[in-house]
C-alpha cells in the first residue's frame, strides 16, 4: 500500500517511456479494454493542441475511464503555469516530469481513496502520452511569451498591448464591467541616463517595472508603452478604484531605493488615468490617459491626474 503522499521523479529516457498518468473527478460512462487502447487514443487526442490547459483537461477527462481521480494539479514555475482540475482529495501521488534533462513540470493526482499498486502502474504508463504534447506546448508558450514581452522589463510590449486592449474593451462591454487605464511615466528619466549612464537607466526601468507588478492583482496587466512609460490595464476597475491603485503605484515607486555608482537616485513618477466610456474606442481611451499624464507633468510631476 502506498502512503497518502508519494513523490516520484521520472526521466523518460531512463524509464524507457513506459510509465506515467492522469484523471478527472467522476468516472465517464465507458471504459477501454486495456491501458494500451487508452494510450493509443490519448496519443492522437493530445497532439491536437498547443495549449497546456487544453492538453491537461483532455488528459484528465480521458484517464477517468481507467483510474477514477478527484483532482489533477500541474505546476511549472519557469513557465508561470499553475493549473487545477477537479476537487481536492485526501490522498495524493506526485510526479516530476523531465526529458533529456528538461524539466516539464510537476503533476499531482488526488482522490479520497488510496491508489492501488495496479492503478499507480496504469497512471505511470499513461503519463508517457503527455511527454511530447506538453513539451511542444511549453516551447510554443515560451516562444509566444517572448514575442509579446519586452526583454528589458519583462512586461508586455506594444504588440501585446494592442492585442490585449481591444479584447479587454470588448469583454468589459459584454459583461458590463468597468475598465481603466493608468499611464505611468518616470519623471526626468533623461537626466538619470545623462548623469549615471544608460546601464543605470536600464536598471531603473527594471526596478520600476518590478515595483509596479508587485502592487497589482494577477488579473491586471502591465506593458512597456514607450522608453520610460508603462501602461497598466485594470480590468473590472472603476474610476475611483483606479485612482486608489494609481496612488499606490506612485507611493511604492517613490519609496523604492534606486542606486547607481553607490549613490541613491531620487525618482518620482507621474500618472494619468482614464476609464472606458460608452462606445469609446481603444485609441480614445489611450489618448485620454495620455492627456491626463500630460496634465500631471504640467502641474509639477510626482502626481496622478484623472481624465475628464
Tens digit of each residue's pLDDT (9 = 90 or more) over 97-117: 888 889 999 999 999 999 999
Q: Lowest-confidence range among 151-155, 269-273, 283-287?
A: 151-155
Residue 150: which of 210, 211, 220 has the closest Cα?
210
pLDDT confidence tier of residue 19, bands split at 50, 70 and 90: very low
Domains with residue ranges and CATH for the chain: 5-146 (3.30.450), 148-306 (3.30.70.270)
> What pLDDT, on the 0 to 100 scale, is given for residue 32?
53
User: Residue 115 carries which DSSP code?
Assistant: P
User: Does the pLDDT value for residue 199 go beyond 80?
Assistant: yes
pLDDT confidence tier of residue 144, bands split at 50, 70 and 90: confident
228 is catalytic: yes
User: Does the pLDDT value for residue 196 go beyond 70?
Assistant: yes
HSE (side-chain half, CA atoms, 13 Å) at 265: 28
> What pLDDT, on the 0 to 100 scale, is given for residue 26?
43
Q: In whole numbers, what is the pLDDT of the chain averaged over residues?
A: 88
Q: Measured between alpha carbons, how far is 295 from 31 in angstroms, rounded to an integer?
A: 67
Q: How far separated are the first and last CA of the chain, in Å rounded?
A: 68
Alpha carbon distances (Å) from 302 to 249, 256, 283: 11, 14, 25
User: Does the pLDDT value for residue 21 go beyond 50?
Assistant: no
Give the pLDDT confidence of 61-83 residue by residue, as tens digits. Answer: 999 999 999 999 999 988 888 99
Please state the rounded mean pLDDT for residues 216-237.
94
Q: Measured between alpha carbons, how far is 209 from 186 in angstroms, rounded to an integer?
A: 11
pTM score above 0.95 = no
Give the pLDDT confidence of 252-267 residue by residue, as tens digits. Answer: 999 999 999 899 999 9
- Compute φ and ψ for 185, nearest 5 degrees: -130, 135
> What pLDDT, on the 0 to 100 scale, is given for residue 30?
53
User: Residue 201 carries which DSSP code?
Assistant: H
For residue 297, the SS3 value is helix
Stated length of the chain: 308
Catalytic residue among 207, 228, 247, 283: 228
Amino acid at each position: 500500500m502506498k502512503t497518502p503522499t508519494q513523490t516520484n521523479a521520472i526521466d523518460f529516457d531512463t524509464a524507457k517511456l513506459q510509465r506515467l498518468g492522469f484523471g478527472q473527478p467522476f468516472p465517464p460512462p465507458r471504459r477501454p479494454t486495456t491501458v494500451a487502447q487508452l494510450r493509443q487514443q490519448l496519443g492522437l487526442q493530445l497532439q491536437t493542441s498547443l495549449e497546456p490547459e487544453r492538453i491537461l483537461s483532455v488528459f484528465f477527462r480521458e484517464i477517468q475511464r481507467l483510474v477514477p481521480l478527484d483532482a489533477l494539479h500541474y505546476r511549472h514555475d519557469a513557465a508561470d503555469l499553475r493549473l487545477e482540475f477537479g476537487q481536492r482529495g485526501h490522498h495524493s501521488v506526485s510526479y516530476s516530469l523531465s526529458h533529456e534533462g528538461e524539466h516539464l513540470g510537476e503533476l499531482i493526482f488526488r482522490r479520497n481513496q488510496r491508489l492501488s499498486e495496479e492503478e499507480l502502474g496504469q497512471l505511470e504508463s499513461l503519463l508517457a502520452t503527455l511527454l511530447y504534447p506538453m513539451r511542444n506546448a511549453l516551447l510554443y508558450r515560451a516562444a509566444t511569451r517572448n514575442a509579446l514581452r519586452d526583454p528589458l522589463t519583462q512586461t508586455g510590449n506594444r504588440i501585446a498591448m494592442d492585442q490585449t486592449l481591444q479584447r479587454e474593451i470588448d469583454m468589459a462591454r459584454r459583461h458590463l464591467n468597468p475598465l481603466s487605464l493608468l499611464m505611468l511615466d518616470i519623471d526626468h528619466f533623461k537626466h538619470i541616463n545623462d548623469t549615471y549612464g544608460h546601464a543605470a537607466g536600464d536598471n531603473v526601468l527594471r526596478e520600476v517595472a518590478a515595483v509596479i507588478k508587485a502592487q497589482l492583482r494577477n488579473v491586471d496587466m502591465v506593458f512597456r508603452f514607450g522608453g520610460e512609460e508603462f501602461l497598466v490595464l485594470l480590468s473590472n476597475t472603476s474610476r475611483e478604484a483606479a485612482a486608489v491603485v494609481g496612488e499606490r503605484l506612485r507611493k511604492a515607486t517613490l519609496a523604492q531605493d534606486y542606486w547607481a555608482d553607490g549613490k541613491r537616485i531620487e525618482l518620482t513618477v507621474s500618472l494619468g488615468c482614464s476609464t472606458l466610456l460608452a462606445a469609446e474606442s481603444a485609441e480614445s481611451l489611450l489618448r485620454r490617459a495620455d492627456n491626463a499624464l500630460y496634465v500631471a507633468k504640467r502641474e509639477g510631476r510626482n502626481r496622478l491626474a484623472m481624465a475628464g
